[in-house]
Chains A and B, each alone.
Chain A
Amino acid sequence: MNSIVCITQVPDTETRIKIGGDGRSIDETGVKFVVSPYDEYALEEAVKIREAKGAGDVTVVCFGPERAQSAIRDCLARGATKAIHVIGDSLRADSLGIAKVLAAVIRSQPHDLVFVGKQGVGTDNSLVGPMLAELLGIAHVTVVTKLEVGDGKVTAYRETEIAEEVIECSLPALVAAQKGLNNPRFASIKGIMAAKKIAIESKTLADLGLAEGDVYETRVKVVAMELPREKPAGRKIDGSDPVAAAKEIVRYLHEEVKAF
């Protein structure tokens, strides 16, 4: 069984984002970049399947700038066996552009399962996975919290607001991972050292037969970016007298928030 794991590199979720000088991107100075958290579940699932089957490759595919190499290395340290890095300014690409790039790579690779995170943290569009599946002409299941691999098919458990859907689909298929799918491992020291020895195959858009116009700002363009308004400071209620504190909370909810 061969799996492809598509990853994206995003600012560490603890980062305090600053808007860059152009007003439509973030200031990357001093920002630590990491593998997008949902992609970690995607990677872990692929690695677990490979470990269970004892065969096949887990190939990480990433479209992003040079700095994304550290994210790819991190995935190799956590069990991926191969990596392809399409170098480009992915921040200027919209979801369809990214999906096109990934599809161009994956078409030439053996793939029974294609994994993505359910969304890329930061842009949070949840679009790349389904678009990629359509471009590849394969089935897809999103927000997956449990996956069972059978013979030529998978059974995916999908979380919705009202129920859990159980979806069976034939391979190849694309799975978008949700938190809870597994417990992503830490990179081990030995894993990090072994990952250093794996060559990352790097490609350009031209190598994939794509033009810049196919990928960058094809339909969506960021025209401005601003930070959310600052939340007002929280209020502390003295809890030394629980009865008085409870009364104050009720009064606050009733009179100020008008919650009831």
Chain B
Amino acid sequence: MAELPGIERETLEMDVVIVGGGPGGLATAMHLARLIKQHNDSGKGEKLEGLSIALLEKGKEIGSHGISGAVMDPRALDELIPDWRKKDCPAVAVGTDEMWYLTESGKIKAPIMPPPLQNHGNYVVSLAELLRWMEPFVAEAPEMNIFPEFPAARVLIEAGKVVGVRTADKGIDKNGEAKGNFEPGIDIRAKIVILAEGPRGTLTKQLYEQFDLGKGKNPQVFALGVKEIWEVPAGRFKPGQVIHTMGFPLDKETFGGAFIYGMKDNLVDIGMVVGLDARNPTTDSHHELQRLKTHPAIRAILEGGKLVAAGAKAIPEGGYFSMPKMWGDGFMIVGDSASYLNGARLKGVHLAMKSGMLAAEAALEALVAGDYSDAKLGAYERKFEASWAKTELWKDRNFHQGFEHGLYAGMINAGLGMITGGRGFGVANRLEATAGHERMERIKRYFASDDPHPPEKIKFDGKLTFDKVTDVYYGGVVHEENQPAHLLIRDTEVCITKCTEEYGNPCLHFCPANVYEPRPTDDGRGKVPFLNFTNCFHCKTCDILDPYQVITWVPPEGGGGPNYKKL
């Protein structure tokens, strides 16, 4: 969202502001409110009275941008809401658990489940539903203010310290002019800012650059999860049934796989996770999901059913070594924004929640001491290092890096890691990683041709397979049309010259929402991107993977984006 210059902005004083209402943000808010109450009830030290906490969420409501697989490890929820099983939580215990290796038309069922994928004791959940279920527990605290439809636009930094956030302006037209209902963003000043923005957060990115938070760490490596929900004929797929697949439709050098999870009411999650670090610049996760569905074993599950929802989201796969310095003067970063995700187990919800709880503990100590410095908030990292979250992430710390050498190397690395407590290929304590956009190869080189025309891999039949725009519709994506594009492209000239020539415009392929729509060039030589920002799923892939790093994703007007109910 553009920010109008020269606007006088109101200021609001808060004690803590949390950016993002996902599992990390909600857990932070809920746990912090509880810790404040416990502190006040304990009678120890000075009471923390009249505090105010703000939680900003860019979606229309809490949960509307929530998307994940998901099979959730309940470990963090057990700590956050110990009696959650008695509170109508929308979760289905995992029943059967299978791993398939898919060939073009066949499948090989793994005789034993690799330990990271064993899901006994875990729960199939819809993150969108889980967040909606959590919200009332968070909102009941007297100090809590939850603000849906209010994206944060930037972090406020003064004298090297984070002092608050600015919310995004509303009511700007497509030419960047104020409309009649223009509502300027305000500056929320807070003692502690906690970023829980999910993968590739806008404010997190600002802090990475400002404070060099990635120094000495591996770059973050992402995958893109593209997912549909299908309603299938009764009895076809059991609630709690879990299948993971590898192999088809991905080639042997591309990281990824698929998941199929059974929910209640004959609903089935089917999704594809594809590394955003493929060599092939035309890699298209949406198309791979559509191809997956044409496999006989998968078609058999879906046939006669119908598509009911769709969505997409980037996933931080980098693990422990990609975790940034996750705190500083006046701020902490939790959840996916700080790489709290276990790629080997395909799980992040529990780690996001746990990180929020740890940050809440550090925040309480800071509030009690009245000290919000880097040194004080460093307690967050010490708490993490002493927690089960660290133990878990440490064990799989070299998982994703192994796949830089292809599927088989990745599997061998993962296997050796299991025996050696996570050592890379059984020996190295730390394997380095390469950012995805740097691994992408130029199109002529990849296809070994001077005039590459990569074949269309799939035609959509509108029954089993759907184009991107159809999935956007099923994601409930709506944005105010009359606003500036929320994808800031620093140099559009690069797009139609260098990028077309060198990479064949990968955005046409990697964007799952057809935000970058291929349109024929005037000379009929090929296709170049045309920006349809209103299609956006908020997955962040373009910000991550564009080879020239000229695209910056910023939040559109509050409330815009997908409207996920069961994703």
Q: Taking beta carbons and an 8 Å cutoff, which residues of A are in contact with B?
A: 12, 14, 16, 30, 32, 182-186, 188-190, 192-193, 196, 233, 240
Q: A14-B478, A14-B563 are in contact. Are A186 and B167 (CB under 8 A)?
A: no
* Number of residues from B at the complex interface, CB < 8 A: 28
The verdict on B34 contacting chain A, using a C-beta distance below 8 Å, is no
How distant is B181 from chain A, measured CB to nearest CB, in Å? 5
Contact between B10 and A186 (Cβ–Cβ < 8 Å)?
A: no
Contact between B565 and A30 (Cβ–Cβ < 8 Å)?
A: yes
The verdict on B145 contacting chain A, using a C-beta distance below 8 Å, is yes
Contact between A32 and B60 (Cβ–Cβ < 8 Å)?
A: yes
The verdict on B476 contacting chain A, using a C-beta distance below 8 Å, is yes
Chain B residues whose C-beta falls within 8 Å of the C-beta of A14 in the assembled complex: 476, 478, 563
Contact between B563 and A189 (Cβ–Cβ < 8 Å)?
A: no
Bound form: Cα–Cα A233–B462 in Å: 10
Q: A14-B478, A240-B520 are in contact. Are A189 and B12 (CB under 8 A)?
A: yes
Question: 10 A-B residue contacts at CB 8 Å?
Answer: A14-B476, A30-B132, A184-B181, A186-B171, A186-B558, A189-B167, A193-B12, A193-B145, A196-B145, A240-B520
Q: A32-B60, A32-B61, A193-B145 are in contact. Are A188 and B183 (CB under 8 A)?
A: yes
How distant is B171 from chain A, measured CB to nearest CB, in Å? 7
Q: Mark B146-181, 1 if CB is under 8 A from A, else 0.
A: 010010000000000000000100110000000111
Chain B residues whose C-beta falls within 8 Å of the C-beta of A16 in the assembled complex: 476
Q: A14-B563, A30-B565, A32-B61 are in contact. Are A188 and B179 (CB under 8 A)?
A: no
Extra inter-chain contacts (20) besides given A14-B563, A189-B167, CB under 8 Å: A12-B60, A14-B476, A30-B132, A30-B566, A32-B60, A32-B61, A32-B64, A183-B180, A183-B181, A185-B181, A186-B170, A186-B171, A186-B558, A188-B183, A189-B12, A189-B186, A189-B188, A190-B10, A190-B12, A192-B147
CB-nearest residue of chain B relative to A70?
Answer: B61
Q: A30-B565, A32-B61 are in contact. Are A188 and B186 (CB under 8 A)?
A: yes
Contact between A186 and B183 (Cβ–Cβ < 8 Å)?
A: yes
CB-nearest residue of chain A relative to B10?
Answer: A190
Contact between B181 and A186 (Cβ–Cβ < 8 Å)?
A: yes
How distant is A192 from chain B, measured CB to nearest CB, in Å? 7
**8 A-B pairs closest in CB distance:** A183-B180, A186-B183, A183-B181, A30-B565, A186-B170, A185-B181, A14-B478, A32-B61
Chain A residues whose C-beta falls within 8 Å of the C-beta of B181 in the assembled complex: 183-186
Chain A residues whose C-beta falls within 8 Å of the C-beta of B186 in the assembled complex: 188-190
Bound form: Cα–Cα A150–B167 in Å: 39
CB-nearest residue of chain A relative to B520?
Answer: A240
Mark out the residues of chain B between 50 and 102 whose CB falls within 8 Å of any chain A CB in the assembled complex. Answer: 54, 60-61, 64
Across the interface, A189 reaches (CB within 8 A) one of B150, B171, B462, namely B150
Contact between B520 and A189 (Cβ–Cβ < 8 Å)?
A: no
Chain B residues whose C-beta falls within 8 Å of the C-beta of A196 in the assembled complex: 145
CB-nearest residue of chain B relative to A233?
Answer: B462
Chain B residues whose C-beta falls within 8 Å of the C-beta of A188 in the assembled complex: 183, 186
Bound form: Cα–Cα A187–B181 in Å: 10
How distant is A177 from chain B, measured CB to nearest CB, in Å? 15
How distant is A172 from chain B, measured CB to nearest CB, in Å? 28
CB-nearest residue of chain A relative to B167?
Answer: A189
How distant is A48 from chain B, measured CB to nearest CB, in Å? 11
Contact between A185 and B145 (Cβ–Cβ < 8 Å)?
A: no
Chain A residues whose C-beta falls within 8 Å of the C-beta of B180 in the assembled complex: 182-183
Chain A residues whose C-beta falls within 8 Å of the C-beta of B61 in the assembled complex: 32
Chain A residues whose C-beta falls within 8 Å of the C-beta of B10 in the assembled complex: 190
How distant is A5 from chain B, measured CB to nearest CB, in Å? 17
Bound form: Cα–Cα A227–B188 in Å: 45
Chain A residues whose C-beta falls within 8 Å of the C-beta of B54 in the assembled complex: 189
How distant is B182 from chain A, measured CB to nearest CB, in Å? 9
CB-nearest residue of chain A relative to B474?
Answer: A16
CB-nearest residue of chain A relative to B54?
Answer: A189
How distant is B91 from chain A, measured CB to nearest CB, in Å? 16
CB-nearest residue of chain B relative to A188?
Answer: B183
CB-nearest residue of chain B relative to A196?
Answer: B145
Chain A residues whose C-beta falls within 8 Å of the C-beta of B64 in the assembled complex: 32
Q: A14-B563, A32-B61 are in contact. Are A185 and B183 (CB under 8 A)?
A: yes
Mark out the residues of chain B between 235 and 276 whose CB falls within 8 Å of any chain A CB in the assembled complex. Answer: none
CB-nearest residue of chain A relative to B470?
Answer: A233
Bound form: Cα–Cα A12–B188 in Å: 29
Contact between B179 and A189 (Cβ–Cβ < 8 Å)?
A: no
Bound form: Cα–Cα A30–B186 in Å: 31
Bound form: Cα–Cα A12–B167 in Å: 24
Bound form: Cα–Cα A189–B153 in Å: 14
Bound form: Cα–Cα A184–B462 in Å: 39
Chain A residues whose C-beta falls within 8 Å of the C-beta of B170 in the assembled complex: 186
How distant is B357 from chain A, measured CB to nearest CB, in Å? 26
CB-nearest residue of chain A relative to B563?
Answer: A14
CB-nearest residue of chain B relative to A191?
Answer: B183
Chain A residues whose C-beta falls within 8 Å of the C-beta of B60 in the assembled complex: 12, 32
Bound form: Cα–Cα A190–B11 in Å: 9
Bound form: Cα–Cα A193–B13 in Å: 12
Bound form: Cα–Cα A139–B565 in Å: 44
How distant is B544 from chain A, measured CB to nearest CB, in Å? 28
Bound form: Cα–Cα A145–B534 in Å: 29
Chain B residues whose C-beta falls within 8 Å of the C-beta of A189 in the assembled complex: 12, 54, 147, 150, 167, 186, 188
Bound form: Cα–Cα A190–B10 in Å: 9
Bound form: Cα–Cα A188–B145 in Å: 13
How distant is B527 from chain A, measured CB to nearest CB, in Å? 11
CB-nearest residue of chain A relative to B145?
Answer: A193
